[in-house]
Structure 1
Amino acid sequence: MSKDDDAMSPSAASSWFRFLPVDLGDTENLERYMPGGFHPTSLGDVYDERYRVVHKLGAGGFSTVWLARDETEQKWVALKIVVVDHSAAIETKYASSQHAALQCGGRAKFPIEYRHFTIDGPNGRHLCLVLPVLGPSASQLSCFLDSRMAPRLARKAAYQAVQALANLHAQGFCHGDVTTSNIAFCLSDIDRYTEHHLSKLFGAPEKAPLETESGEEPGPEAPQYIVRPIDFLASEENIISWDIQLLDFDQAFPASSPPQDMLGTPVEFLAPEVAVGLSASPASDVWALGCSIYRLRSGEGPFSSIDVWTPRDVVSFITRTLGAIPVSWQHILFDHEGQPTRDPSQDTPLVKSTDRRPLRDLVYNIYDKPENGVETGKIRPEHQVWDENDNIPYPACFADMVWKPKVTKIDNVYLHGYDDGTDELLEAMPKIPETEAALLHDLLSKIFVYDPAERITAGEMLSHPWFHVDQADPLPHGH
């Protein structure tokens, strides 16, 4: 489970769990296999008498997503099976947001559903959306030391996300959940592959039994095993396109009637005005898009931290970059759970920090891939390798798209998971070109402002020069 999708607070993490964790990397929140939660799906299950589950594509806070074979039309589809508690609301939202997406040009930038139906299971009635199959999310391709996008791909993906959002806003809709997890890469004609060919490309689905803390067998509300999502970067053949789509309209709303409740957006993408309890708007979408753009290019969110779990946390963290919150927000209160409140008896103050993280420093310190290893002349102690796969590069077919920082050696020591010495190692890495850094800093300076009315719009962003630095340089062959 990734923090982008469905992170838990420290208090939740310390509570009693029913299920033991599985050693399959990021998976769904296992504790949501309960009435009102996820549907227990297994490989080979057939839904609506035509969709046979073949592999898992991923999971988020409100759904699991499965690769399925449509036996009626003989094509591949993605089945998004929504948790019971959100199925009715999402079905209502999807109808209007899909109409807006179609008005925006349809399938070019948004995954338009083929159809939908319901599944009655042990945890209740689930909405199931039948969608086009998409590849990895931008979160997977740009994730700290695990994976980084090539700069050109980051800029191209960012521009397409801006186009999608600008089109959606022009139709009077807000997305409400713009994150790198909801930016997914298209696949190149997946329907030309048979099930046998896909198995050869990516291997058989990897499974692990689901076990309970008590040692009892899971009940009917949970599957017998958990499936690792398909790894599109594990193949010797690249079927990932350079085109993206903006996913997940679970939080979408008409700009004219913003929701009264807090958005379900991961807090590190929350615009400060939303975090303090004011209305969401197209401007809050733009803030979240700015956070996504920074992560596309850097591998990290500008306001992501192990200390950021609540709206209060993210506002405190933002002040380290933008300075004090506006005077008009000084009356804002937060309760003991870090949520905005109007009850003075619940007030817990913002944590004030003297540490500063200027936006210019964040941008100019983005590191890029070295041509070879990095030598600084320093002798460093060997680091114990816990997973040898960390230091194996991606197959050569992905060379123009992504790279793996953990393959880099600095003074003959591999980059590794975060510890006290990581910042010093990263300091030795080559940095973003200064000309590009200046443009990116200018763009983000127009996004990361407190006043939503002063924030650049998605439509205005389209002409910003950072997106067009590659204009005179043709794309690599095949893209």
Structure 2
Amino acid sequence: MDPYSKIFARAISSFQPFPSLCYRKLKFSPVRWLSASISSQHGSSRSLTTSRSEFDSIKYDWIDGAESLEKYVPGGYHPIMIGDVLHERYSIVHKLGHGGYSTVWLARDAHLDQYVAVKVGIADRSFDSLQQEIKSLRGLCAPLMLSHLSTCTFAQQQQQRGGNSIPLVLDEFNLQAPNGTHLCYTTAPAQCNLKEVSYSRLFPLDVARALSGNLALALAFSHSRGYVHGDVHLRNVLVKLSSGIAQLSVEQLYEKYGRPETITITRHDGNPLLLNNVPPEAVLPVYLGKYAEEFTLSDTQILLSDFGESFSPASDVRRGEDCHTPLAFRAPEAQFEPYTPLSYPSDIWSLATAIWEIIGMKAIFSTEYADINRVLSQHVDLLGSLPSSWWEHWEQRDQFFIENGQPKGGRGRYVWPPIDQAFEDGVQKYRRMDGMGEFDEEETAAILDLMRRMLAFRPEERPTIEEVLQSEWMVQWVLPDVDGSLQAQ
């Protein structure tokens, strides 16, 4: 059986994966002002200099949907609750999400009287990543000279359209807090990311094309300004907040999407929390979006987010061994040429995997229960033989293939279908089953031609992002739907 049949069980239509959509009445903590200096939090009188060693043995009861609670330590997450005011300006009204190095909150900006997303980095260790992200975003959003724009080719003008899909940094500041110094910045908020909105669901055909095109345009803009994104996948592609949500008051927002859902944090050993460093409750993320099948062209305006792994090849050296892109979306040169600098082609590989996931039901490569060697075996199964030098240096190849390159059969070795059959199995079949429309023969050929070129093993053999935008699929099918999405606004 295809492993995906086990992993991606068909979601029933009434499934609600986002508990924050449920309405619950909760008691909010009093407003707490957090700025450059903090004397106490959460009603605790403990010293702000709690040592990291005090936390080494502390474990918390697991809370589904919450960040890793063990990271609420010196050098880790900053404890935030609904009602907190950051920087004497940003009143926290909901939680949008979290990652390994930050939490993201929906806040009301008292100065501008609007909603913003506040990204709060973990203390100390996240500074380099967040500083790089802010630097990249500010560099991307710097104005272009009009004289340059007037001489752009058609393809270059298409690239510049993606500028609207790059988040604009509105403010940045530091929080001095019990767990250390946290770098923070604010941007316009988004509804959701494409991964959560499309889990076990499909977008309508025109929507899938428009989302793919807008993502390609965003990446084209980044490349045109000299930046490799370095972490392209659907969790980092956000859907812009609709104007209707932006006009809601906080109470109206709660009426529409529910009040923040919180769960009391408890320690395994039953001892009290160290409340300067750990919040009393975990706040679960709110879901402001809708499901994939409900999307229309007006919902396809995106933001390419999380530039923490971005770099400029002209001035920065990012070697393959330093690549942190998730395995399912990581270009193979990062594994086989770990000491060679990465560049724009690594983004092209990741973009291909993202587009595949947008138009179909599942990712082209799976990392469920898979290490790097299993992912590489999928690459060969789907795309054919590796370059000979890579094949010879792949020490674990005999776990999956015999010497002539044919896949080994037997227990525990699933042989993935070649890319044509993978498209039928992972894209077309599910689109037929769900009545979401399938790609006709001509468009399928154009998609597969582009995918094969973008997923070339050798980075120098992949098309540039400009060539991607000039491909048959983009010109004949995708960009017209991108234009339609603009008219639908």
Q: TM-score range by the shorter chain?
A: 0.7 to 0.9
Structure 2 residue aligned with 1:20, among 39, 61, 74? 61
Structure 1 residue aligned with 2:240, among 186, 199, 206? 186
The answer as to whether partners of 2:360 and 2:428 remain within 8 angstroms in 1 is: yes
The answer as to whether partners of 1:166 and 1:458 remain within 8 angstroms in 2 is: yes
Letter in 2 for 1:152: D
Q: CA deviation at 1:208?
A: 1.4
Query: Closer, same or farther in 2 for the Cα pair 1:290/1:357, shift >3 Å?
Result: same
The answer as to whether partners of 2:229 and 2:309 remain within 8 angstroms in 1 is: yes
Q: What corresponds to 1:172 in structure 2?
A: 226
2:104 aligns to what SS in structure 1? strand
**1:259 aligned to 2:279?**
no
Q: CA deviation at 1:305?
A: 3.1
Distance 2:398 2:73 in 1: 35
Q: CA deviation at 1:285?
A: 0.6
Q: What corresponds to 1:457 in structure 2?
A: 464
Distance 1:268 1:17 in 2: 33
Distance 2:177 2:86 in 1: 11
The answer as to whether partners of 1:368 and 1:432 remain within 8 angstroms in 2 is: no
Distance 1:42 1:350 in 2: 52
1:138-157 correspondence to structure 2 within 5 Å: 138-143=194-199, 145=200, 147-157=201-211
Letter in 1 for 2:66: T
Q: CA deviation at 1:65?
A: 0.5
2:127 aligns to what SS in structure 1? helix
Distance 2:131 2:290 in 1: 37
Q: CA deviation at 1:192?
A: 1.5
Structure 2 residue aligned with 1:469, among 452, 465, 477? 477
**1:321 aligned to 2:382?**
yes
Distance 2:207 2:383 in 1: 28
When Rg is computed on C-alpha atoms for both structures, the one with the higher figure is 2
Letter in 2 for 1:127: L
Letter in 1 for 2:332: P
1:469 aligns to what SS in structure 2? helix
**1:208 aligned to 2:267?**
no
Q: What corresponds to 2:334 in structure 1?
A: 274
Deviation string 1:318-374 (CA, Å, 9 cap, x unpaired) is: 1221233212224546xxxxxxxxxxxxx7667425224211111122146779xx7
Structure 1 residue aligned with 2:307, among 235, 245, 249? 249
1:185 aligns to what SS in structure 2? strand
**1:114 aligned to 2:170?**
yes
Q: What corresponds to 1:422 in structure 2?
A: none
Distance 1:477 1:171 in 2: 27
Q: CA deviation at 1:116?
A: 0.4
Q: CA deviation at 1:477?
A: 8.4
Q: What corresponds to 2:113 in structure 1?
A: 74
Query: Closer, same or farther in 2 for the Cα pair 1:20/1:437, shift >3 Å?
Result: farther
Q: What corresponds to 1:358 in structure 2?
A: 418
Query: Closer, same or farther in 2 for the Cα pair 1:245/1:323, shift >3 Å?
Result: same
Q: What corresponds to 2:150 in structure 1?
A: none
Q: CA deviation at 1:17?
A: 8.5
Q: What corresponds to 1:402 in structure 2?
A: none
2:74 aligns to what SS in structure 1? coil
**1:98 aligned to 2:137?**
yes
The answer as to whether partners of 2:328 and 2:365 remain within 8 angstroms in 1 is: yes
Structure 2 residue aligned with 1:226, among 282, 302, 308? 282
Equivalent residue pairs, number: 392
The answer as to whether partners of 1:114 and 1:130 remain within 8 angstroms in 2 is: yes
Deviation string 1:206-248 (CA, Å, 9 cap, x unpaired) is: 111222222233323222222221112469x999832011111
Q: What corresponds to 2:345 in structure 1?
A: 283
The answer as to whether partners of 1:94 and 1:250 remain within 8 angstroms in 2 is: yes
Structure 1 residue aligned with 2:184, among 128, 135, 153? 128
Q: What corresponds to 2:145 in structure 1?
A: none
Higher helix proportion: 2
Letter in 2 for 1:253: F
Q: CA deviation at 1:476?
A: 10
**1:436 aligned to 2:443?**
yes
Deviation string 1:234-280 (CA, Å, 9 cap, x unpaired) is: 69x99983201111110011113332442221111100001232432
Q: CA deviation at 1:18?
A: 1.8
1:99 aligns to what SS in structure 2? helix
Q: CA deviation at 1:98?
A: 2.0
Q: CA deviation at 1:86?
A: 3.8
Query: Closer, same or farther in 2 for the Cα pair 1:153/1:95, shift >3 Å?
Result: same
Distance 1:328 1:88 in 2: 38
Distance 1:130 1:466 in 2: 36
The answer as to whether partners of 1:36 and 1:83 remain within 8 angstroms in 2 is: yes
Distance 2:216 2:486 in 1: 22
**1:300 aligned to 2:341?**
no
Q: What corresponds to 1:11 in structure 2?
A: none
Letter in 2 for 1:450: F
Q: What corresponds to 1:337 in structure 2?
A: none
Q: CA deviation at 1:31?
A: 3.0
- Structure 1 stretch displaced more, 39-48 or 82-91: 82-91
Q: CA deviation at 1:304?
A: 1.6
Letter in 2 for 1:281: S
Structure 2: gaps spanning 5 or more residues:
1-6, 8-56, 143-159, 402-406, 408-414
Distance 1:218 1:22 in 2: 15
Distance 1:215 1:431 in 2: 55
1:136 aligns to what SS in structure 2? strand
The answer as to whether partners of 1:364 and 1:437 remain within 8 angstroms in 2 is: no
1:174 aligns to what SS in structure 2? coil
The answer as to whether partners of 1:141 and 1:148 remain within 8 angstroms in 2 is: no
Q: Percent sequence identity over matched residues?
A: 29
Letter in 2 for 1:254: S
Q: CA deviation at 1:139?
A: 0.7
Distance 1:449 1:34 in 2: 44
Q: What corresponds to 2:18 in structure 1?
A: none
